[in-house]
Amino acid sequence: MMRILAILNQKGGVGKTTTTANLAHALVLAGKRVTTIDLDPQGHLSATFGIFDERGLGIDEVLLGDVCIADVVQQVREGLYLIPAGHRLGKMEMLTQGGASRGTRLRTALTGQFEDQDFILMDCPPASGILVMNALAVADEVIVPVAGDYLGLRGLGYLMKTLKSIEQGLQKKLEKWIVVTRFHARRRLPREVVGKLLDYFPGQVLSTPIRETTALAESPGFGMTIFEYNDGSNGALDYRSLAMDYLNGRTM
């Protein structure tokens, strides 16, 4: 059965795109079929896979126009697919017509599509507007990357409250996972952050913290995932382990 995941946190720079790209590739390397969707007008997910085609069609034309989602999907690796953002995606947030259906366009577009896939991973923008609404309307699960720094926990309560009200509005339950990112094992503060996360979200924090790794910061600049850029790095080790956590429901 296909699982649809939104990788989301309204806070910027916490590792949403890094997690989407590398978790997706790790799942593919574990034999799963994965399609990713770049829901961020910045287009960073596409860039991470080495796709810089600015004028190509993307999810923008699906959400704003009448292009079929199956016509904008590209194969980026063996077994790994990408639906790019497209250069018009930012216009989605300015959409004033369409009422409530603006929030369910992605769900409508995905209905009956990609049923041979195991996972669809959606990289969300650092916001809480209409694009995130579209992601949550279609998602079965949410992965929230939380940076292990002193600001990491800020806004998390608000995010969880928002998710709860969306669940009520949509009358469905979202499975929620937390991923600790940008982790410095030798510092005290990140360990405190993890301790607090475990208090607030017992059974939901995936076991492997993603360590702060230079290779993870460098790889997108080369259009590579961590497994292509430096397969022996801590980043590759951590994301492989995270994929296994996720597949086996292994939490701290």
**Bridging pattern class, strands 80-83 and 34-38:** parallel
Residue 14 near which of Mg ion, ligand ATP, none (CB within 5-8 Å, type-dependent): ligand ATP
User: Given candidates 16, 25, 105, 211, which one binds Mg ion under the rule CB under 5 A?
Assistant: 16
Contact 75, 36 (CB under 8 A): no
Calpha distance 182→204 (Å, rounded)? 18
Would you say how long the chain is, in residues?
Answer: 252
Other beta carbons within 10 angstroms of residue 49's beta carbon come to 24
Least Cβ distance, residue 17 to Mg ion (angstroms): 3
Examine residue 182 and tell whether it contacts Mg ion (CB under 5 A): no
How many Cα neighbours within 13 Å face the side chain of 131? Answer: 28
Residue 221 near which of ligand ATP, Mg ion, none (CB within 5-8 Å, type-dependent): none
Calpha distance 203→41 (Å, rounded)? 33
Examine residue 210 and tell whether it contacts ligand ATP (CB under 6 A): yes
Distance of CA 55 to CAs 52, 76, 138, Å?
A: 9, 17, 26
Residue 90 near which of ligand ATP, Mg ion, none (CB within 5-8 Å, type-dependent): none
Calpha distance 252→245 (Å, rounded)? 10
Ordered strands of the 3-7 beta sheet: 74-77, 80-83, 34-38, 119-123, 3-7, 141-147, 175-181
Smaller CB separation from ligand ATP, 33 or 218: 218
Examine residue 182 and tell whether it contacts ligand ATP (CB under 6 A): yes
Binding mask 37-56 for Mg ion (x = CB under 5 A): -------x------------
Examine residue 20 and tell whether it contacts Mg ion (CB under 5 A): no
Examine residue 16 and tell whether it contacts ligand ATP (CB under 6 A): yes
Calpha distance 57→83 (Å, rounded)? 9
Calpha distance 43→7 (Å, rounded)? 15
Least Cβ distance, residue 59 to ligand ATP (angstroms): 15
Examine residue 216 and tell whether it contacts ligand ATP (CB under 6 A): yes
Examine residue 11 and tell whether it contacts Mg ion (CB under 5 A): no
Binding mask 37-76 for ligand ATP (x = CB under 6 A): ---x---x--------------------------------
- What stretch of H or E contains 165? helix 156-170
Smaller CB separation from Mg ion, 18 or 35: 18
Smaller CB separation from ligand ATP, 2 or 130: 130
Least Cβ distance, residue 47 to Mg ion (angstroms): 10
End-to-end C-alpha distance for the chain, whole angstroms: 26
Residues that bind Mg ion (CB under 5 A): 16-17, 44
Which residues lie near ligand ATP (CB under 6 A)? 12-18, 40, 44, 126, 181-182, 210, 212-213, 216-217, 220
